[in-house]
Amino acid sequence: MRKYFEFYNPTKINCGKDALRTIGAELDYFGANAPMVLASTNATRMGSLEKVLAALKGSKISVGVAYNAMPSCLDLDLLRALKAKYAEGRCDSIIAIGGESTMDSAKALKLFLSENCDDFLPLAGVARQTIREIPLITVPTECGSGHEASGFIEVEENFISNPSIIPNVVVIDSEVAAIAPARVTAAGGIYILANAIEAYLAAEDISIIEVFAQKAVKLVFEHLERVVGGEESEDDCVGLSLASVFGGISYGNAPYGAAHALAEALADATKEPIEEMVSAVLVATLKKLSEEKKEKLAELLPCMCSAEKLAEIPHSEWITRTIADIEDLLVRLHDKAGVPAKISDTKVQREIFGSVADTAQSKRAALTDMRPIGQEEFLKILAEAY
């Protein structure tokens, strides 16, 4: 063990009943009273934007500019236009409402404003200088990547990390949490699981990253199936959203692993959602882990089942049972929502495995792992995943 780790995440988490009503006080703390509000099309359609604006009524906050149709990917021209609108509206902060793309767009806008630039290229890598702090409050309405609390964004092949990107506050309220369709929620839940598991496997035993990862895994197993099945309570919606935040924080501090690299390569080749590609390869990746990593993976079993069930499982069987429980969860989610449990559940054909494996080995998640992952290994995982 290297016995060294770094961890940084100053995001404040406001979670629970009436959490939306804390937004005004949080902005006031930063001396802000004219936020730019960014909402995804889905968040607007589902009424989340309206609920956030209603929560601000009666406070000292007056929305400077509201944009209610954030696209599904980063749009440089839109970001430049929003930067100009931010100045025209004399805004002093940002509120982002929606899923991953809205969160990344808000963080990119925050970066453009704090660094006084309008392009990503000069900021590739780890940017250091911050000209001014732009308060950012995120209100996630979908679970998955955890980008609502992480300190990086990826633009095509560019990786940008900067303390000024990290949201200041994430607000989780059952009024707006986990409102996506069942299949999207199911795939997002598996993405949370992949974030947490691969961060856990990469983290040092002395690292606090493990704590966030363990809690994320526990919350997914406790709440995901009920939310996907439409049987959720307010606690289930909040719990799943919180799992997304914890998974994002853990992976944001340990962004390595074969499942992420392979899923990115598959998504690049097929244009399919990366969450579904993660779902298709996660179990196969875990099965192909080295014995050293499998031993650590087994430590997550207590997060997946009750103490009573755990007591019935011999410790020598923890490794196989951990992988089996994850595989069973994916199969159940496939039956309930259609999310792929293996590659043959998708449109991906074996013919592209060679090029996908070649692309995967050059992904940051593969190159920066404790043991760089090569093409041959990825081909074996793809064969197992099919």
What are the tens digits of pLDDT across the range 314-360?
Answer: 999 999 999 999 999 999 999 999 999 999 999 999 999 999 999 99
- Per-residue tokens: 138: 């995120």
Q: Grade residue 1 by pLDDT with cuts at 50, 70 and 90.
A: very low
SS3 labels along 324-351: HHHHHHHHHHHHHHCCCCCHHHCCCCHH
CA distances, 214 to each of 44, 145, 233, 302 (Å)? 33, 16, 22, 9
State the pairing for strand pair 169-172/136-140.
Answer: parallel
Beta partners for 126?
A: 161
| Rounded Cα distance, 350 and 201, in Å | 28
- Per-residue tokens: 340: 């792929």
- Per-residue tokens: 140: 């996630």
196 Cβ contact partners less than 8 Å away, ≥ 6 residues apart: 212, 213, 214, 216, 217, 220, 243, 246, 247, 250, 251
State the pairing for strand pair 136-140/125-126.
Answer: unpaired
Whether pTM > 0.95 for this model: the answer is no
The letter for the amino acid at 190 is I
Distance separating the N- and C-terminal Cα atoms of the chain: 33
Q: Which of 72-76, 125-129, 136-140 has the lowest mean pLDDT?
A: 125-129
Domains in the chain and their CATH numbers?
A: 12-123+133-172 (3.40.50.1970), 182-385 (1.20.1090.10)
- pLDDT exceeds 80 at position 259: yes
| Rounded Cα distance, 198 and 210, in Å | 10
Residues of 171-202 as b/e, b for ≥16 C-beta within 10 angstroms? bbbbbbbbbbebbbbbbbbbbbbbbbbbbbbb
- pLDDT exceeds 80 at position 206: no
